[in-house]
Structure 1
Amino acid sequence: MPNAREGNPATLNPTSVERRSDRELVVTRTFDAPVHLVFEAWTTPDLFKQWWVPKSAGMTLVSCEMDIRTGGTYRLVFRHPAFDQPMAFFGTYKEVTANTRIVWTNEESADGAVTTVTFDEQAGKTRVTLHELYPNETARDEAIAGSAEGLPEQFAQLDELLAGRA
């Protein structure tokens, strides 16, 4: 496995996961790719499916419907071998600004967050900030114990995808 001197993106560009307040979770990472490629990986279903599910989770993304425009909707359906029924996550895109920002709701439960992802390019690299605002502290903590723990792995997978597309 390469170390930082050999160019391992996970070492050079670590993922930061921070509880910003009782209701907020903020995840940041810089990617060695221009903003248009990073944004495309977030907004093209075939690309999104390649990196969104942490490989270690043992889940598959069996359906990925994304109408990525302000007012559009998404529906992601996951399957895990340990569960009989697939799990669906869905919501509405509140704001989509190409290469800059995506805001969506998570409507699968009353405790769903509003997620804002911003893309900031500097010198050919893109800093991604994922900000989730939950209705309460309990919902935030449950998300951290669930899917949010996989975000560093997901972002490492995105790094791998981008490296192959650069």
Structure 2
Amino acid sequence: MSSIPNQSFEIAFTRVFDSPRELVFKAWAEPEHFAKWWGPKGFSLEVVKMDVRPGGMFLGYQTSPDGSHVMWGKFTYQEVVAPEKVVFIQSFSDEQGNTIRAPFNANWPLEIMNVITLEENDGKTTLTLKGGPLNASVEEQAAYDGMAPMLKQGLEGTFDQLADYLASQK
């Protein structure tokens, strides 16, 4: 039985990586890999905690290229099936891992559910990400919907970094 709450997904994103599924999974599940590619281009990621199992948590912070902005975030893992699936709830947080409002929009949803699936075919891996707000108010849903195009653009940039990182691991 899945532990995923009822969820309608707002974003669906698919990308094919020229790497085996096990390596792509490790890039999502191991801090030494994850810190090298996750986040906006030019930002650095410091992983404070990463326990990729149901009930486990990722906690870390991103720093802007000029060092003027620091954003903390967390993932709470719901389901992990190595090497094919990772389900997590993503939130902004403080240094202790308490969920907080996004610094850029007071109406941004507190929680975003993400489902990552990985399928391998001929040494390449197709990653599918589905995501959307969890338990969002009308105002939060509207904020998310309004930023969905920017969110997709940001994901493309993040996945470009993942592709570059995976290529460097060959």
| Structure 1: gaps spanning 5 or more residues | 1-21
2:64 counterpart residue number: 80
Instruction: Give the alignment's Cα RMSD to 1 decimal.
Output: 2.4
CA distance in 2, matches of 1:141, 1:84: 28
Matched, 1:125 2:124: yes
Distance 1:156 1:26, change over 3 A: same
Task: Quote the sequence identity (%).
Answer: 34
| Structure 2: gaps spanning 5 or more residues | 1-7, 93-100, 102-108
Q: CA deviation at 1:124?
A: 1.2
Distance 1:158 1:81, change over 3 A: closer
CA distance in 1, matches of 2:150, 2:67: 15
Q: CA deviation at 1:23?
A: 5.4
Give the SS at the match of 1:50. coil
2:153 counterpart residue number: 149
- Deviations 1:80-129, CA, capped at 9 Å, x for gaps: 26785621111310000001100111233443210110001111111001
2:169 counterpart residue number: 165
Give the SS at the match of 2:35. helix
Conserved 8 A contact 1:34-1:125 = yes
Which residue of 21, 37, 55 maps to 2:23? Answer: 37
CA distance in 2, matches of 1:61, 1:74: 12
Conserved 8 A contact 2:31-2:47 = no
CA distance in 2, matches of 1:86, 1:38: 27
2:37 counterpart residue number: 51
| Higher helix residue share | 1
